[in-house]
Structure 1
Amino acid sequence: MSGIGPVEPEEGTHALDAFPAPLPQRGRRARAFERHRRTVAVGFLAGAVLTGGGYLYVTRPRPEPPPAPPYPSQVTAVAYLKARTADPNTVARGFTFEVEMTTESGPPVTVTRISQPYAGLSVSSSPRAPFRTKAGSPRKISITIRVTECGKVPRNAGLPFLDVTLRNTRAMQVHSFILGSRYARDLSRALQVACSNETR
């Protein structure tokens, strides 16, 4: 071979195979753009997860609220037990008897007042109001009715009742309890005796 010129590759060789072309250098801008693109993608995914979770939280089925407690008059019963024998130390114009108060269910019921409809009578109780009754714990109450003015007392208490003011966490109510024929008979007899003593 003679002459001047480029070296020719021999058969089966190529210049490109011997030295692979260098990859183009990525500039500072390209690297910053790539980082920014990843940050945006991560932020987008995080936002999508939060949005989806928020939607699921807002649209979740809500539990039913607990039922409201019953009104106190719906769960309270008062039953007449008996008239108490006259105590010589008590006033002759008084009638004392026992009742049993029961709260069937729900929160405790507080008795804040006991009264009756006749103007010539006053009422007191032991224990004194206010007092509480709990569900499943019947309570005996001693009630004394005193004659304050015979002219305003009925001679025959046909269907007497007690007005009891009840309170629980739901409401405060005044409820009239009819204590039955035995109570009416015992009260009428006591009133007749008390007021007949005055006319003698």
Structure 2
Amino acid sequence: MSGIGPLEPGEGTRARDGRRPQNPRPPRRRRAALAAWYARHRRIAVALAATAVALAGGGYLYATRPQQPPPHPAGTKAQVPYPVQVVDMTYLDGRTTPAGAPPRSFSFAVLLSVTSGPPVTVTRVTQPYAGLSLSTEPPVPFRTRSGSARKVTITMHVTECEKVPKNAGLPFLDVTLRNARAIQTQSFILGPRYAQDLSRALQVACSNSFR
């Protein structure tokens, strides 16, 4: 007999002794379950990572956002009232037409008051009828201080009787006002007494045209 012993399995071969291998390959169903579990947890991990990036970006945007300006201190322009909020105009009476006024002219007086805020300047006074022109005394522009009132004489002159009404229903004056905050135009309706006096003055000025 020779001195060769029993044959050993070569490299890469397995013994055929009927025993199960130490690390068997999982069945097909188990492999599918493991793949699904891995895919699901991978999606969760990706979502968490995206959320972390978004939060980080949001924090950066918050930190670099434009700063709001500080509130305006008391007395600044933002707290100055608009001129139309503090100015009132009331009708006083008809007045004698100033000497030297052209024919078909008539005058009346109004009281302009400023209740609060900085001084207000009247830059323009107009009326709605095309056949009339007007001037003021004091002449525009004129200024009125807060807490005071100014009497203003308005003289109207009829330029074309065909373009003025026989009876003025709700006549008004457009007054342009300016203060430290804004320039605004306000329409002042001076009431029924002014409407009656204006209609009477127009009838006198245009008596021949109205017949």
TM-score (norm 2): 0.62
**Kept after mapping to 1: 8 A contact 2:203/2:210:** no
- Which residue number corresponds to residue 154 of structure 2? 143
- Which residue number corresponds to residue 83 of structure 1? 94
Alignment partner of 1:126 is 2:137? yes
Alignment partner of 1:71 is 2:82? yes
| CA-CA distance at 1:85 after TM superposition | 2.9
For residues 106 and 96 of structure 1, the distance between their equivalents in structure 2, rounded to whole angstroms, comes to: 30
Alignment partner of 1:99 is 2:110? yes
**Kept after mapping to 1: 8 A contact 2:105/2:158:** yes
For residues 86 and 78 of structure 1, the distance between their equivalents in structure 2, rounded to whole angstroms, comes to: 21
Give the total of aligned pairs: 139
* Structure 1 portions without partners, runs of 5+: 1-61
For residues 117 and 84 of structure 1, the distance between their equivalents in structure 2, rounded to whole angstroms, comes to: 21
**Kept after mapping to 1: 8 A contact 2:110/2:151:** yes
- From 178, 189, 206, the equivalent of 1:195 is 206
| CA-CA distance at 1:199 after TM superposition | 6.5
**Kept after mapping to 1: 8 A contact 2:96/2:106:** no
- From 110, 129, 137, the equivalent of 2:121 is 110
* Structure 2 portions without partners, runs of 5+: 1-69
Alignment partner of 1:176 is 2:187? yes
> Structure 1 counterpart of 2:191, which letter?
G
For residues 131 and 198 of structure 2, the distance between their equivalents in structure 1, rounded to whole angstroms, comes to: 13
Aligned counterparts, 1:37-76, within 5 A:
65-66=73-74, 68-76=79-87
Specify the SS of the correspondent of 1:187: helix
**Kept after mapping to 1: 8 A contact 2:134/2:157:** yes
| CA-CA distance at 1:179 after TM superposition | 0.5
For residues 201 and 104 of structure 2, the distance between their equivalents in structure 1, rounded to whole angstroms, comes to: 8
For residues 63 and 174 of structure 1, the distance between their equivalents in structure 2, rounded to whole angstroms, comes to: 29
> Structure 2 counterpart of 1:99, which letter?
V
For residues 197 and 86 of structure 1, the distance between their equivalents in structure 2, rounded to whole angstroms, comes to: 20
TM-score (norm 1): 0.65
Structure 1 window deviating more from structure 2 (62-71 vs 144-153): it is 62-71
- From 164, 176, 182, the equivalent of 1:165 is 176
> Structure 1 counterpart of 2:162, which letter?
G
Cα RMSD, aligned residues only: 1.9
For residues 198 and 175 of structure 1, the distance between their equivalents in structure 2, rounded to whole angstroms, comes to: 32
Which structure 1 residue ranges, 4+ long, deviate > 6 Å from structure 2?
none
